[in-house]
Amino acid sequence: MKISIHPLFLLLLLSIVLYGDIAFYTVIIVSLLFHELGHFIAAKLVGAHITQCKIVPYGGEMTIKDEMRLSYNQLIIIALGGPLATCIGIFVSVFLPPMLSERLIEVQLFILAINLIPIWPLDGGRIFCYSLLKWRPFSKIFEFYLTASFYLLTVIIIVLLYLLPQSLSLTIIGLFLWTKVIGDWKFRKYRSAFEKIVMNRLT
């Protein structure tokens, strides 16, 4: 599996270093890798093959071979893997020396809180969207979810821009998610057609 780092993540770390320290930088990297390990283990458990992991501002993105051929149950389990790993990390951190545990718990709670927001493409958004599609397999649900995520992120980014420079880190994350939603929106017709024609699971 190939591991890479998105340039925007480096910008995020730079903004953190300017207001923090190198130790905090290390804690963030370790916490993100542990989060992605959860996704990796979950993917292996459902038989998915991961080809790449990219560390991005809000966590990580895993490239799964033939992802659209996986069932919604498999996709939900993979999405749950990261938050579950982070919860385990928080539990383990409680038993570490206070100086280290406080930083670890702080960072992991932040990662957990961000990833559980029900906005695409965050883990919370994927879990909620795949659950909706499993319950009601209509292609319009995916399009509606992307649209709702786009407008919600737009409002959030406007608020964060108003709060700069204190909100610099969150603004970077928001802008990255915003571009991801736009990219998935452009690809939505191909995804819906594949699931409907090849997978025969959308109506």
> Which of 7, 16, 6 is closest to 169 using CA atoms?
16
Separation of alpha carbons 5 and 19, rounded Å: 21
Residues 6+ apart with CB under 8 A from 68: 191, 194, 195, 198, 199
pLDDT tens digits along 81-109: 999 999 999 999 988 888 788 888 988 99
Give, in degrees to the nearest 5, the angle at Cα 133 between 129 and 136. 130
Q: What is the pLDDT of residue 61?
A: 78
pTM: 0.83
| pLDDT for the residue 42 | 94
**Which of the residues in the chain have pLDDT under 70?**
1, 12-13, 15-23, 57-59, 197-199, 202-203
- Using alpha carbons, select from 173, 44, 169 the residue that is nearest to residue 121: 173
Query: Do the Cβ atoms of 202 and 139 come closer than 8 Å?
Result: yes
The pLDDT value given to residue 169: 75
28-55: per-residue pLDDT in tens? 778 888 898 899 999 999 999 888 887 7
Query: 5 CB contacts (<8 Å, ≥6 apart)?
Result: 54, 55
C-alpha separations of 176 from 27, 41, 64, 76, 101 in Å = 22, 26, 20, 23, 29
State residue 9's pLDDT score.
73
- The answer to whether 189 and 124 have CB atoms below 8 angstroms apart is no
